[in-house]
Structures are given as C-alpha cells and as structure tokens.
Structure 1
C-alpha cells in the first residue's frame, strides 16, 4: 500500500475546503488555488477514468477562478 505523503495530506485538506460548500471555492486565496492546482496536476488518476475526468473538471474550475482573481471578474459576472 502506498504511503500517504505530506503533499497528499495538503491536497486533501484543500479539497475538503472547496467541497464543504459551493461558495468555499471562492474563499481560497490565489496562493491556495495555485498550490491546489499544482498538487492536483501531480496526482496521477490515469488508472481511474472517472477520477481523471473529475481532475480535469476541477483543474478547469481552478483555472477560471485564478483568472477571475488575476484579471478581475469574468465577463459573466
């Protein structure tokens, strides 16, 4: 069985923050979002098609939120 690393713990902690409420995602700082993006990108989910699809969707949401924080609100808000 694989050992749980500090990065795994950090990734899970950040994921728990954004899954506890749909508005929690907007409360993360830019640094937290960038760190979460980095940690999620590192994790390999290629063995599980559903998990990989969720990873791609999450990364897209993170990218949108990072864009909103760096460039101002999106054109839809």
Structure 2
C-alpha cells in the first residue's frame, strides 16, 4: 500500500495528474485519504491540496467541458 502510494505520487510529481488513468486517480484518492500525517501540519495541508486537485481532475474527466 505504501509502495503503491509512493509510485503514484512520483508519477504525479514527474508528469502531473493527466498521466494517470481514472482508476489510478481513484486509487490515489483512496490511499491519500487513508494516510495520516498526524502532527505534521505542512504535510497535511499538502495532502488536502493534492486531494482537491485529484477530485477536480476526476470530475473533469467524467464531465468534459465543451467549448464552441
């Protein structure tokens, strides 16, 4: 579980969220939600920011915007 989280975070760090499939994004969301950073406020803030970005990316893939 920890290794899978590290692998997904490394992929996001290198190339961004767009390289992950929907299944991988969902798995990343689940793993991040389960991770507890305890007293480390900076890590917890980063976790919440990344979770917001993951949720937005999942939403955008399910509901693509169409520009005319």
The two structures have a TM-score, normalised by structure 2, of: 0.90
CA distance in 1: counterparts of 2:22 and 2:65, whole angstroms: 14
State whether structure 2 residue 41 is matched by structure 1 residue 49. yes
Alignment correspondent of 1:8: 2
RMSD after superposition: 1.7
1:31-73 deviations in Å (ceiling 9; x for gaps): 0000000000000013100000000000000000000111114
Unaligned residue ranges in structure 1 (runs of 5+): 1-6
Question: How many residue pairs get matched?
Answer: 67
Unaligned residue ranges in structure 2 (runs of 5+): none
The structure-2 alpha-carbon separation of the partners of 1:13 and 1:65, relative to structure 1 and needing over 3 Å to count, comes to: same
**Which gives a bigger RCO, structure 1 or 2 (Cα 8 Å, sep 6+)?**
2
